[in-house]
C-alpha cells in the first residue's frame, strides 16, 4: 500500500484518489495534482536506520513514493549518485565546503532518470501502453530508455533546435521522435503532447507537474540522498539549474518530507539558476510576480543551456513558494559564465557537464562574486546533465591541439608555453 492520502489540484482544489488513476486534472485547468502523504504512517513503517540495509538508489525511499507494488518498479539503477567534496574548485572560488551532487552518472546521463523511473512505474501500475512527451531532449531520452525497459511505446515531440547528440540517443532507445518547428514564444511540443494525451489515450510523461504528477516524486530523492550523505544534516545553500522549476520543486518537497517525518529540522536555502537568454522564472522572482500568474518569456529561448529552455515554468508557482519557504533566491547568469562553469568543472574536478548541467555552478560563481555566499558555508551544487549529451557544444569550445612531427624537441618546445583552456 502506498502512503498516499490523495492528490489535490493546485488550481481548482479537486481531490483524486489513486484508484481513480489520476494523471491530469479532469477539469482541464492544467493544475498540478499535488500528492499528499500520510507521514504518520510512513514514520511508523520506516526509520532512518532501516535505510542502511537497502540499496542506494531511488527506490531506497519506496515509502515516500506513489507506487503501490514493488513489482511495478521499472528501474535502470537510477540515483544513488555521489556527493563529491570539491577541493580544487572550492579553492579557486575561495570557499571551504563545496560539494557536487554528480547527477551525470545516471543511466541516461541526467537526473531526469529519477523522474522517469517513477513516472514509468506509475504508467505500468495504471495500465497504460503508450506514453507521450514534450522535451528538449533529456527527459525524452530518459522516458525512451525506461519505455524500452518496460515495453511502453514512446512518442517524443522535441523542438527543432534539440542538439544532435540528444536526438541520436533518443532515437536509439526506440522512441518515435518528431521534431517540431518552434516559431512563436509558446512551446509547440507541449501543444502536440497535450492533444495526444487528452484525445488519444496516451500517458503524458513530461518532466513537469501539470501534465504528470508522479515524476516530481523522483526529484525528491536528490534531497533524501543529500541529507543522508550529510549524515542527516542540511547544507546551507543548494544551487539548482532551473527550466520548468520542477526539479527545484521536487528538491523542496524532498526536504519537506524529511521534516514531516522528523528526520531533519529545517531547510537549506534553495537557489534557482537560469540563463539570461531565457529567464522567465528568475524574472518572476525578481519582479515578485503572482505565483499563479507568471509571465512567459516573450521570445523563443536563446541559450546554450538547451535543457533549461522552457519559456513558461510549468511548476513555477510551486518553485517560487519553494524559494520563499527556504529563504532562497534566484539568479540569472549569462551563457559565457555557463561555458566557463563547464570548463572549470571538467578541469578542476574531472566532471564533464553539458551547459544546463553546469548552470548551477555558474550561479554559485555569480553568488560568490556578489558576496551572497560566505566562505565557510556548506554549499551543494547540482550537476544535472552529462557533457557528452551535447557534443556540438563541446566541439565549439574545445581548443584544437597543436600538431607536431614525431620529434620530442618540438613537443618540449610547445609544452613550455602550453596553456590549458
Ligand X SMILES: *Cc1c(COP(=O)(O)O)cnc(C)c1O
**Residues forming the site for Zn ion (CB under 5 A):** 9, 11-12, 14, 25, 27, 29, 31
| Residue 248 C-beta: closest distance to ligand X, Å | 6
Q: Between 331 and 360, how does the x/- string for binding to ligand X read (CB under 6 A)?
A: -----------------------x-xx---
218 binds ligand X (CB under 6 A): no
Nearer to ligand X, 235 or 243 (CB): 243
| Residue 213 C-beta: closest distance to Zn ion, Å | 12
7 binds ligand X (CB under 6 A): no
For residue 9, give Cα distances in angstroms to 4, 147, 184, 296. Answer: 15, 27, 29, 21
Cβ–Cβ under 8 Å, residues 331 and 367:
yes
165 binds ligand X (CB under 6 A): no
List the one residue from 9, 84, 98, 245 that touches ligand X (CB under 6 A).
245
Task: Give residues 380-409 in contact with ligand X (rule: CB under 6 A).
Answer: 384-385
- Identify the burial level of 346 via C-beta atoms within 10 angstroms of its C-beta, where 0-12 means exposed, 13-18 middle and 19 or more buried: middle
The size of the chain, in residues, is: 421
- Distance from C-alpha of 345 to C-alpha of 9, rounded to nearest angstrom: 40
List the one residue from 307, 316, 328, 387 that touches ligand X (CB under 6 A).
307
Long-range contacts, stretch 266-269, CB < 8 angstroms, 24+ apart? 266/234, 267/234, 267/325, 267/326, 267/327, 268/234, 268/235, 268/236, 268/237, 268/238, 268/326, 268/380, 269/236, 269/237, 269/238, 269/326, 269/327, 269/328, 269/329
138 binds ligand X (CB under 6 A): yes
Nearer to ligand X, 225 or 354 (CB): 354
Nearer to Zn ion, 27 or 299 (CB): 27
280 binds ligand X (CB under 6 A): no
Residue 278 binds which entry of ligand X, Zn ion, none, CB below 5-8 Å type-dependent:
none
End-to-end CA, the chain: 54
Residue 385 binds which entry of Zn ion, ligand X, none, CB below 5-8 Å type-dependent:
ligand X
Nearer to Zn ion, 22 or 243 (CB): 22
110 binds ligand X (CB under 6 A): yes
- Distance from C-alpha of 372 to C-alpha of 364, rounded to nearest angstrom: 9
- By Cβ distance, which residue is nearest to ligand X? 385
> What is the secondary structure of 23-40 as a DSSP string?
SS-TT-S---EEEEE-HH
Residues found near ligand X in the complex (CB under 6 A): 110, 112, 138, 207, 241-248, 307-308, 310, 354, 356-357, 384-385
Amino acid at each position: 500500500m502506498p502512503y498516499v492520502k490523495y492528490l489535490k489540484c493546485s488550481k481548482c482544489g479537486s481531490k483524486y484518489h489513486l484508484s481513480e488513476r489520476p494523471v491530469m486534472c479532469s477539469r482541464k485547468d492544467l493544475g498540478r495534482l499535488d500528492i499528499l502523504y500520510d507521514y504518520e504512517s510512513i514514520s511508523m513503517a520506516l526509520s532512518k536506520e532501516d535505510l542502511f540495509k537497502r540499496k542506494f538508489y531511488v527506490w531506497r525511499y519506496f515509502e515516500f513514493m506513489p507506487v503501490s507494488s514493488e513489482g511495478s518498479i521499472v528501474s535502470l539503477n537510477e540515483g544513488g549518485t555521489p556527493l563529491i567534496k570539491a577541493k580544487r574548485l572550492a579553492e579557486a572560488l575561495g570557499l571551504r565546503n563545496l560539494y557536487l551532487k554528480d547527477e551525470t552518472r545516471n543511466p541516461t546521463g541526467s537526473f531526469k532518470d529519477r523522474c522517469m523511473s517513477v513516472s514509468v512505474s506509475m504508467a505500468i501500475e495504471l495500465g497504460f501502453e503508450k506514453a507521450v512527451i514534450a522535451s528538449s531532449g533529456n527527459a525524452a531520452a530518459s522516458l525512451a530508455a525506461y519505455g524500452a525497459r518496460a515495453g511502453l511505446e514512446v512518442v517524443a515531440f522535441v523542438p527543432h533546435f534539440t542538439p544532435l547528440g540528444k536526438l541520436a540517443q533518443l532515437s536509439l532507445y526506440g522512441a518515435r521522435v518528431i521534431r517540431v518547428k518552434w516559431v512563436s514564444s509558446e512551446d509547440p511540443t507541449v501543444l502536440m503532447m497535450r492533444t495526444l494525451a487528452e484525445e488519444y489515450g496516451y500517458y503524458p510523461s513530461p518532466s513537469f507537474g501539470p501534465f504528470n504528477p508522479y515524476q516530481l516524486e523522483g526529484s525528491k530523492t536528490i534531497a533524501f540522498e543529500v541529507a543522508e550523505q550529510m549524515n542527516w544534516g542540511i547544507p546551507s545553500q543548494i544551487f539548482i539549474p532551473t527550466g520548468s522549476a520542477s526539479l527545484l520543486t521536487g528538491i523542496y518537497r524532498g526536504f519537506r518530507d524529511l521534516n514531516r517525518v522528523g528526520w531533519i529540522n529545517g531547510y537549506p536555502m534553495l537557489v534557482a539558476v537560469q540563463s539570461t537568454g531565457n529567464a522567465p522564472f528568475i524574472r518572476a522572482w525578481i519582479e515578485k510576480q503572482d505565483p499563479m500568474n507568471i509571465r512567459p518569456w516573450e521570445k523563443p529561448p536563446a541559450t546554450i543551456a538547451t535543457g533549461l529552455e522552457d519559456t513558461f515554468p510549468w511548476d513555477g508557482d510551486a518553485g517560487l513558494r519553494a524559494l520563499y519557504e527556504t529563504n532562497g533566491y534566484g539568479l540569472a547568469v549569462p551563457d559565457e559564465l555557463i561555458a566557463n562553469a563547464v570548463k572549470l568543472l571538467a578541469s578542476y574536478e574531472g566532471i564533464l557537464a553539458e551547459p544546463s548541467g553546469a548552470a548551477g555552478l555558474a550561479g554559485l560563481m555569480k553568488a560568490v562574486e556578489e558576496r551572497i555566499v560566505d566562505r565557510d558555508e556548506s554549499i551543494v551544487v547540482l550537476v544535472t546533465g552529462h557533457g557528452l549529451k551535447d557534443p556540438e557544444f563541446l566541439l565549439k569550445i574545445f581548443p584544437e591541439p597543436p600538431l607536431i612531427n614525431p620529434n620530442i624537441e618540438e613537443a618540449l618546445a610547445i609544452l613550455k608555453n602550453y596553456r590549458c583552456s
